[in-house]
Copies of this chain bind each other. A is one copy, B any other.
């Protein structure tokens, strides 16, 4: 998506440790007209997949996924993060390791809102190693729902999570794939 690459080049900031900061338009302050375009682009990419539910994870996936759900005119479900290991009630849970923070958290969705008959499009802002996305895919599989695909705004291609999922046959579409970043020069290269 050319508009996204332009915004990353013009407004993104590269920091040591493979950090790409886009908090001025994507995950702190949110450029809503731009996000509408993101929603439309994901709809274009997945409109023939029978999607009837959008799944994301709190917090920064929610605004994006709201715009996608609007385009699909279907419900949105956001998985919750918790540090509690023993969760009571009718929920699907899985453990996710945070590469950035070096911790493990539990991701959960209520069983009432995910199950057989659902065709799920997972949406998130970033994909790097793929731990969070793998966690969401596990929840979808555990619930008996069908995974229609995964839509990611920015994939860090050099961290390999996306290609590992594609190799497994997941219909994963990223709107921009960063192949190289240099925190000294600020340079960012995208996969063609």
Q: Could you tell me which A residues sit within 8 Å of B by CB distance?
A: 23-24, 28-33, 35-36, 58-59, 62-63, 65-67, 69-70, 73-78, 80, 109-110, 112-113
What are 24 A-to-B residue pairs whose CB atoms are below 8 Å?
A23-B110, A24-B112, A24-B113, A28-B80, A29-B77, A29-B110, A29-B113, A30-B76, A30-B77, A30-B78, A32-B69, A32-B73, A32-B74, A36-B70, A58-B59, A59-B59, A59-B62, A59-B78, A62-B62, A62-B66, A63-B65, A63-B66, A63-B78, A66-B66
Total copies of this chain within the assembly: 2
A69 touches B113 (CB 8 A): no
Q: Chain A interface secondary structure, helix, strand, loop or mixed?
A: mixed
Query: In the bound complex, how far is the Cα of B70 from the Cα of A28, in angstroms?
Result: 16
Given A59-B58, A63-B66, A75-B110 contact (CB < 8 Å) = no
A66 touches B29 (CB 8 A): no
Instruction: Please name all residues of chain B whose beta carbon is closer than 8 Å to the beta carbon of A112 when the two chains form the complex.
Output: 24, 29
Chain B residues, Cβ within 8 Å of A35: 66
**CA of A121 to CA of B24 in the docked complex: distance in angstroms?**
18
Cβ-defined contact, B36 with A78, below 8 A: no
The smallest beta-carbon distance between A106 and chain B, in angstroms, is: 15
Known: A67-B66, A110-B23. A78 touches B28 (CB 8 A): yes
Report yes or no: B66 in contact with A28, Cβ–Cβ below 8 A.
Answer: no
Cα A70 to Cα B62 in complex, Å, equals 14
Question: Which residues of chain B are within 8 angstroms of A62 by Cβ–Cβ distance?
Answer: 58-59, 62-63, 66
**A122, chain B: closest CB distance, angstroms:** 15
